[in-house]
Copies of this chain bind each other. A is one copy, B any other.
Amino acid sequence: MSKLASADSGVPTLAVSTVIFTLRPNQAGAMQLAIALVRRIKKPYLGLWALPGGPLSMNEDLATAASRNLLETTGLHPRYLEQLYAFGNLDRSPNDLAEDRVVSIVYWALVGSEEAAEAVEGENVQWFWADQLDPLAFDHSLIVEYALWRLRNKLEYSRLAHGFLGERFTLAQLREVYEAVLGRALDPGNFRRMVQGNGAVVATSERLEGTRHRPPKLYRYDSSIDLTDQGPLNTGERK
């Protein structure tokens, strides 16, 4: 199996990184999709922003390492966590010294908006709007682009929006999540019919507390439906 190996005796380093999504209010008060990034404090790409991550340690599961990235970066726990992809192209680092090769197994995570408001921020850890990113270190721009694509695709056929919301929500709040993730306005009437038609969201007997004359009804996700379907891995990974 090793006949293609080069003369050097090195092996690729294995790292785990995490794309952390949340919704945060923008200056106009509308929810907008944001990503947590860390600033590089060493070469290569010194000073650029990058996905949080680090080497996989010997006694950690992959998902545990991804959760730890999230906790160490933001002080938060994920509402949803899924493996995205393993990135291992030879040219993903500008430094072509063979001993620097890193293969990154990347996860993506959703953090609730309320928790995200409490998140750690600092000079070297910040939230950025997902659709307004400058070029990131390494191949991280491509990784974020792929994570966004996966998030937008999954939103349409799963109850993934739950990862940003509380247990109870109005249809307007749910629509706001869809609008923030998809990056476009949705017609309220069409959205209501879509949601009520697919059956994943059920009305509760409660209404939003407030001062309005006719407060909107609160909904919840049908818990008998999986947050998102990974088939055999749904049980296999939790053994």
Contact = CB atoms under 8 A, between A and B. Distances in A.
Interface in A174-216: none
A126 interface: no
A153 B54 CA distance: 33
Nearest to A148: B232
A79 interface: no
SS class, residues of chain A in contact with chain B: loop
A231 B142 contact: no
Nearest to A68: B4
A2 interface: yes
A58 B6 contact: yes
A56 B146 contact: no
Interface string A1-20: 11011101011111000000
A92 B8 CA distance: 29
Given A83-B85, A239-B91, A57 B5 contact: yes
A132 interface: no
Interface in A122-145: 139, 142, 145
Q: Which of under 10, 10 to 19, 20 to 34, or 35 or more describes the interface residues of A?
A: 35 or more
Contacts of A10: 58
A38 to B, nearest CB: 11
Contacts of A98: 58-59
Nearest to A4: B57
A222 interface: no
A61 interface: yes
A88 B72 contact: no
A162 B230 CA distance: 24
B12 A56 contact: yes
A62 interface: yes
A167 interface: no
Q: When A and B form their complex, which 3 residue pairs have the shortest distance between CB atoms, in order from nearest?
A: A1-B54, A149-B231, A5-B57
